[in-house]
Amino acid sequence: MRTVEVHQAWVWDCEKCGGENFCRAIVADPMPDEKEELYRELNDQPFGDLPPGWENFQMMTRPDVVACVYCGGCFETTDCREE
């Protein structure tokens, strides 16, 4: 069996036509010293040793605007976790 690489993505439903859309997540690529600071802040671990593999964490963001692949409708985005 062949292997494929999967990527983090956002899914959204078009408010105009109802089509289900997917778009890849935007993965931040901070500088090494910024990455540790971000990890500590996001994981509420300001001091002490970090767990093994912490440097492999990724921080993804959502797009600000999306367009439906079916009807072309354009929309600003919100994150369902922020409601």
* pLDDT confidence bin for 83, thresholds 50/70/90: low
Task: Give me the pLDDT at residue 20, please.
Answer: 98
Q: What is the pTM of this model?
A: 0.64
pLDDT tens, 20-55? 999 988 888 888 788 888 888 988 888 899 899 888
For residues 29 and 65, is the Cβ–Cβ distance under 8 A? Answer: no
At residue 17's C-alpha, the angle toward residues 11 and 18, to 5°, is 40
Backbone angles phi, psi at 7, to 5 degrees: -130, 150
